[in-house]
Structure 1
Amino acid sequence: MQQSVVLLHDWLTGFRGGERVLESFCDLYPQAPLYTLLHSPGTTSQKIENRPITTSFLNRVPGASKHYRKYLPLFPAAAASLKIAENCKVVLSSSHCVIKGVIKPKGSVHISYIHSPMRYLYDQFDSYFGSHAPLYQQFGARAFRNYLTKWDIQSNDNVDFMIANSSFVQERIKRIYKRDSVVIHPFVDLKDIQDVRSSQTGKEEFYLMVTAFAPNKRVDIAIEAFNDLKTPLKIIGSGQQEAELKRMAKANIQFLGNLSRADVINHMQKARAFIFPGIEDFGITPLESLACGTPVIAYKAGGVLETLTEDTGIFFKEPNPQSLKDAIKRFEQITFHSENLHQQAQKFSKEQFTTKISSFITSVSS
């Protein structure tokens, strides 16, 4: 039987915002096979993993699923090695790296949902490969940067239509790729949160972050600010900078590691505010915080400018600890109303997202 849709995703090694978008694609096309560079079984949802999954040669490299960033120069070859076997009508990719470069079958339409052009090659190269990075990463990144950016841009010839996850990303697609795109924002899974939320949970004195410990997340800004304020901060997550960040933190800052979805939602409900100091292409967690009835204190840049308002949080204008501290002090003088927070989150529901995606795919592939 002919397959009408094939799905592509860069790698399956965790379950974050990009994987939630992929999961929604799996809901729309439950029979669609999936192609990816790497798959670590059990790290994503059953909806994603209950289908045929084809991986590249990188999946056979010992330890690659945990240390895949070290293999960045091999990513283009890994994407090129994936050959779509199905005679499909639509290729739908969820891409923030190289997966959009998988060659589409003859006669098919490739629609790529772009979470971001490769941020570590373009705008945030120094954040990832600056003087703080190990020397081998600094030299390796500089040695391969031209090759990778050239391949990345050329791979767009394989894409018929691009969808940007925000106006912020749309601008970057236009500037870097010289391509037009349409904007369809990702979603916050309101049902998921409502199923877990407790109506009895009251606010406590701590502030909260839920994040990967990567350079672009700017967890260091939050730690320095809260070190000075001596106010309780809880941080949920893990990542490459974990040891370094823990060394920076004083006793008022608590690292909770990776928690269950229910525990994350419970902490979001109890927190005074959600701290978001990085530049994100969109940013799902601030919307999840609003859905839990918790306002957000965010750096005024990137995708949050499309999701947050003065009724739902506080912005700080400079990417430094002092600017964040000033914002926290302003926040403590303001009352936020839960009704405004919930209404803002409702604007980014999963139902709206899937309706827009489905309509767009139908319109360009009919």
Structure 2
Amino acid sequence: MRVAIVHEWFLTHAGSEKVVEQILKIWPNADLFSVVDFMPDAERGFMLGKRAKTTFIQNLPKARTKYRAYLPLMPLAIEQLDLSGYDLVISSSHAVAKGVLTGPDQVHVCYCHSPIRYAWDLQHQYLQESRLAKGFKSWLARIILHYIRIWDVRTAHGVDQFVANSAFIARRIRKVYGRDAVVVHPPADVSAFTLREDKEDFYLAASRMVPYKKMPMIVEAFARMPEKRLVVIGDGPELDKCRAVAGPNVTIMGYQSFQVLRDHMQRAKAFVFAAEEDFGITPVEAQACGTPVIAFGKGGALETVVDSPDPAQRTGIFFREQTLEAVMEAVSRFEAGLAFDPLACRRNAERFGVQAFQDKFRTLVERVMVAREEQLHDE
């Protein structure tokens, strides 16, 4: 069986690339395809040393750094990849990868990280953050996104089976494409995070400093609770905002190595997470360290954090609004005598381990392949 794996772009080894890494471990002889591939040679280990077969966008000016500017061309580009010689096509898609062309005798399974966020329900937020809310460029962007939505829905018909990374994304797939999706949570390398039961007297927030992560809100909330200590790890465009609102009880460390991040995750009394994520891997990693999570109760966190009245099951608590007051109230509840078992946190994290992902995804794809064979036999 010839297998093709299609991914949007290879530039870093981040969340969606970690999914591709595990899919490659299931089918190590698969060929890789992507819009562009600028992954540094020293970081290709997760790709098994492979290079993706790319589109014409790879050779356009400044594609390495400005590849997102070529979004209007990506639907055309992805359709030019010739996958006609493959029995199984697996797309890892959060933008255009699922739009590859496949024939009626091929099986196309799409692991959907999300329908194109900035073309659908997050369009208005995207336009505001990109300073495209008004003017000629705004209307041009809106027209482009309109046609991308039309293309996005049409290409959903070429997918035999959607796989969602969370029930939250499965609902988004149903809303956008009118298709059901099987949930297979993305892999968390819980083996890289060891349990530590003795905790120190500080909270931890760690994330990329981008607007939807709400890191300045967390920092300001703790600045208003000067008796509580917060450590912040991460870098990005909102780092200066975090520094501007931080009090003396908040330590902002900026970017740190994995070893430093893991050490703080193990020692923190709780991990604070304020984003509305599709899944959210860092709360799982914190729980793998035996650290409970104080999380915004929406999106993927509802599936990875257990806010239970039973202390033997409880791995965190939720706050229901992305506000300073809600964060402060949640921290007060956390300190009001709620009991947390580090072993319960670890057990919960292990549900999202690498082996669990591989087993579930392999079984699902095999089931789809068998169903297709039976269908062809009946015909």
Same fold (TM over 0.5): yes
Shift of 1:34: 0.8
1:1-366 residue pairs with structure 2 within 5 A? 4-42=2-40, 44-48=43-47, 50-84=49-83, 87-104=85-102, 107-130=105-128, 132-135=129-132, 138-194=138-194, 202-230=198-226, 231-310=228-307, 311-333=314-336, 334-366=338-370
Please tell me whether Structure 1 or Structure 2 has the larger radius of gyration of its CA atoms: 2
Which stretch of structure 1 is more off in the superposition, 263-272 or 336-345? 263-272
Distance of 1:335 and 1:296 partners within structure 2? 13
Distance of 1:73 and 1:239 partners within structure 2? 26
Distance of 2:232 and 2:45 partners within structure 1? 27
Shift of 1:316: 0.3
Distance of 1:359 and 1:226 partners within structure 2? 45
| CA-atom RMSD in angstroms | 2.4
Amino acid at match of 1:340: A
CA 266–9 in structure 1, closer or farther in 2 if over 3 Å, else same: same
Partner of 1:355: helix, strand, or coil? helix
Partner of 2:53: helix, strand, or coil? strand
Instruction: Tell whether the 8 Å contact from 2:165 to 2:279 is kept in structure 1 after alignment.
Output: yes
Instruction: Tell whether the 8 Å contact from 2:216 to 2:241 is kept in structure 1 after alignment.
Output: no
Instruction: Tell whether the 8 Å contact from 2:293 to 2:315 is kept in structure 1 after alignment.
Output: yes
Amino acid at match of 2:267: K
Amino acid at match of 2:202: F
Distance of 2:73 and 2:241 partners within structure 1? 28
Instruction: Tell whether the 8 Å contact from 1:18 to 1:115 is kept in structure 2 after alignment.
Output: yes
CA 254–99 in structure 1, closer or farther in 2 if over 3 Å, else same: farther
Shift of 1:260: 2.9
Shift of 1:138: 4.7
Amino acid at match of 1:64: A
Shift of 1:173: 0.8
Amino acid at match of 2:88: V
Q: Deviations over 1:103-143 (max 9, x none)?
A: 1256311000111111222222233222x432487555323
Distance of 1:126 and 1:282 partners within structure 2? 22
Distance of 1:351 and 1:127 partners within structure 2? 36
Instruction: Tell whether the 8 Å contact from 1:19 to 1:44 is kept in structure 2 after alignment.
Output: no
Partner of 1:294: helix, strand, or coil? coil
Instruction: Tell whether the 8 Å contact from 2:37 to 2:51 is kept in structure 1 after alignment.
Output: no
2:377 corresponds to: none
CA 236–11 in structure 1, closer or farther in 2 if over 3 Å, else same: farther
Which stretch of structure 1 is more off in the superposition, 207-216 or 39-48? 39-48
Distance of 1:235 and 1:360 partners within structure 2? 39
Distance of 2:170 and 2:362 partners within structure 1? 20
Distance of 1:112 and 1:170 partners within structure 2? 12
Gaps of 5+ in 1: none
CA 210–48 in structure 1, closer or farther in 2 if over 3 Å, else same: farther
Instruction: Tell whether the 8 Å contact from 1:165 to 1:185 is kept in structure 2 after alignment.
Output: yes
CA 316–177 in structure 1, closer or farther in 2 if over 3 Å, else same: same
Instruction: Tell whether the 8 Å contact from 1:5 to 1:29 is kept in structure 2 after alignment.
Output: yes
Distance of 2:221 and 2:74 partners within structure 1? 37
Q: Deviations over 1:167-206 (max 9, x none)?
A: 1111111111101111112232122224xx6x6x853333
Shift of 1:44: 5.0
Amino acid at match of 1:56: T
Gaps of 5+ in 2: 308-313, 371-379
Amino acid at match of 2:185: H
Distance of 2:235 and 2:138 partners within structure 1? 22
Amino acid at match of 1:329: S
Amino acid at match of 2:59: R
Shift of 1:31: 1.4
Distance of 1:235 and 1:104 partners within structure 2? 46
State the percentage of identical aligned residues: 35
Amino acid at match of 1:73: P
Instruction: Tell whether the 8 Å contact from 1:280 to 1:302 is kept in structure 2 after alignment.
Output: yes
With normalisation by structure 1, the TM-score equals 0.89
Shift of 1:101: 0.6
Amino acid at match of 1:304: A
Instruction: Tell whether the 8 Å contact from 2:12 to 2:39 is kept in structure 1 after alignment.
Output: no
Between Structure 1 and Structure 2, how many residues are aligned? 358
